[in-house]
Structure 1
Amino acid sequence: MDKVERSAAEAVGDIADHASLAVGGFGLSGVPNVLIEAVHATGASALHVVSNNCGVDGGGLGVLLAAGRIARVTGSYIGDNKEFARQYLAGEIEVELVPQGTLAERLRAGGCGIPAFYTPAGVGTQVADGGLPRRHGPGGTVVVASPAKEIRTFDGRDHVLEHGITTDFALVRAARGDRLGNLVLNKAARNFNPLAAMAGRVTIAEVEELVEPGELDPDAVHVPGIFVQRVVPLTPGQAAAKGIEKRTVRGR
């Protein structure tokens, strides 16, 4: 089945208000910027985003955030995105903070059909005991807090129950992909992209280089085509546009 779409706009055209999106990327590495811009152009709002972070000011998911299109974020890092921090503290957005490794495993579990699992990460903290602020109110009050989670003991060690994550859509970026949706990721871009791809019921991949079926070494494929429903080839300019989050130079 040829999964190549004619444009990013067509690929994301059925993403509607209140949709949930798993989005790959870490910082500015492996972020599906073209698809994010296309979602922005649709006008879809009240989105629930699941991603490690919510982009940077003016980049990545920060584009949707600044436009007020995101209602809820499940992630592990607010980071240096000042607008994200402002909206969170002002009560304009709901945020579920998750330990980074737990977030990765929740996405993987959802993609594998595992409804829940136990992990020692977070035991003895508000992650397990509840009380993490999800939404703030006037004056810094907490109007929505995280609930307490089930704890069980295995081999004398406490573990907290975490649920797998599935989303309506997933947006990911790959270095190479074929028409069947098989994807190869490059170095650091192989971060949350495979996990997000697994978790989405409809996964849309933007690829820097489109190849024909059979051209990819099967042993090099990071995301099998069974997890990908739509493929968007990038132009050379789009493929080359990669930002640097923090530029450090050495004096001569």
Structure 2
Amino acid sequence: MGLDKTVADVAQAVRGIPDGASLAVGGFGLCGIPSALIDALLREGTSGLKIVSNNCGVDDWGLGLLLRAGRIARMTSSYVGENKEFARQYLSGELEVELVPQGTLAERLRAGGAGIPAFYTPAGAGTQIADGGLPWRYGPDGAVAVASPPKESRVFDGTEYLLEESITTDYALVRATLGDRHGNLVFHSSARNFNPLAAMAGKITIAEVEHLVEPGELDPDEIHLPGVYVQSVVRVHPGDPAAQRRVERRTVRDQQEVGA
């Protein structure tokens, strides 16, 4: 089958990713993250990674595992509040961090995948995002070693907009519920989140899927991401510890309260 994009396992899928590569990684919190591919990348020993993802997992799961092992050199994210190690590395100057408004991050990824070099958005206008000077990296002495540059702005119909550049990466890692051998993907409910956008932005996109089907089994109207954006597909088994679905923050009610 000439268009068969499947690979045998996650180790083979990530083996070609070199040190220092840039990666767009799907997921939101721990929902829809490509945990098996992340685990394989950790075991592969790849380092110096520049990662674009909404967040950086938690201390003991997802991208947090790569972070704890010192494999991430730079993060472009919109929310990092659930990871204490992230804060420690950032404040100590071990990690470079570019914080981006969430909607802007999503559009920068989408624009990159669509071949749009830049776009205007009102998000961040009139703030330090526009003026520059946000600390991207601290030095050993606590001073700002690398700061964000000022952004070009323009007024449309009386409203100020900032020019934001699109994002493309060397690779992208995503997770889908369904995929076929041609790389067409279907995501489950909110697990879709950043996954299609990350897949579009990656020059080489690797998808882990929970269920692998044959070409033609997916209704074209149900496909969320066409296979043209995907170069490799690997099936992960629910019984694989690295592929489990974790709950980021479990909230339950007291049993007495429920019975009251």
Partner Cα separation in structure 2 for residue 125 and residue 243 of structure 1? 36
Partner Cα separation in structure 1 for residue 93 and residue 229 of structure 2? 35
CA positional deviation for 1:236: 3.1
Partner Cα separation in structure 1 for residue 148 and residue 221 of structure 2? 41
- Whether contact under 8 Å (2:206, 2:232) holds in the other structure is yes
Equivalent of residue 157 in structure 1, options 152, 156, 159: 159
Equivalent of residue 211 in structure 1, options 187, 203, 213: 213
* Aligned residue number for residue 84 of structure 1: 86
* Aligned residue number for residue 20 of structure 2: 18
Partner Cα separation in structure 2 for residue 240 and residue 41 of structure 1? 14
* Aligned residue number for residue 42 of structure 1: 44
Equivalent of residue 202 in structure 2, options 196, 200, 203: 200
Partner Cα separation in structure 1 for residue 52 and residue 238 of structure 2? 28
1:1-252 maps to which residues of 2 (within 5 A)? 1-238=3-240, 241-252=244-255
The secondary structure found in structure 1 opposite 2:200 is helix
CA positional deviation for 1:140: 2.6
The secondary structure found in structure 1 opposite 2:32 is coil
The secondary structure found in structure 2 opposite 1:177 is strand
Partner Cα separation in structure 2 for residue 240 and residue 232 of structure 1? 12
Aligned length in residues: 252
Partner Cα separation in structure 2 for residue 202 and residue 240 of structure 1? 21
Structure 2 regions of 5+ residues with no counterpart?
256-260
Partner Cα separation in structure 1 for residue 64 and residue 176 of structure 2? 20
Tell me which stretches of 4 or more aligned residues in structure 1 moved more than 2 Å: none
Structure 1 regions of 5+ residues with no counterpart?
none
* Most deviating of 236-245 and 184-193: 236-245
Q: Deviations over 1:227-251 (max 9, x none)?
A: 0000010113139711011111111
Q: Deviations over 1:55-82 (max 9, x none)?
A: 1011000010000000000111111100
TM-score where L is the length of structure 2: 0.95
Partner Cα separation in structure 2 for residue 79 and residue 188 of structure 1? 20
The secondary structure found in structure 2 opposite 1:135 is strand
- Whether contact under 8 Å (2:36, 2:243) holds in the other structure is no
* Amino acid across the alignment from 1:247: R
The secondary structure found in structure 2 opposite 1:196 is helix
The secondary structure found in structure 1 opposite 2:59 is coil
Partner Cα separation in structure 2 for residue 60 and residue 161 of structure 1? 32
| Aligned residues with identical type, % of pairs | 69
Partner Cα separation in structure 1 for residue 218 and residue 128 of structure 2? 45
- Whether contact under 8 Å (2:55, 2:79) holds in the other structure is yes
CA positional deviation for 1:163: 0.4
Partner Cα separation in structure 2 for residue 141 and residue 50 of structure 1? 25
Q: Deviations over 1:152-207 (max 9, x none)?
A: 11111111000010000000000000000000000110100000000000000000
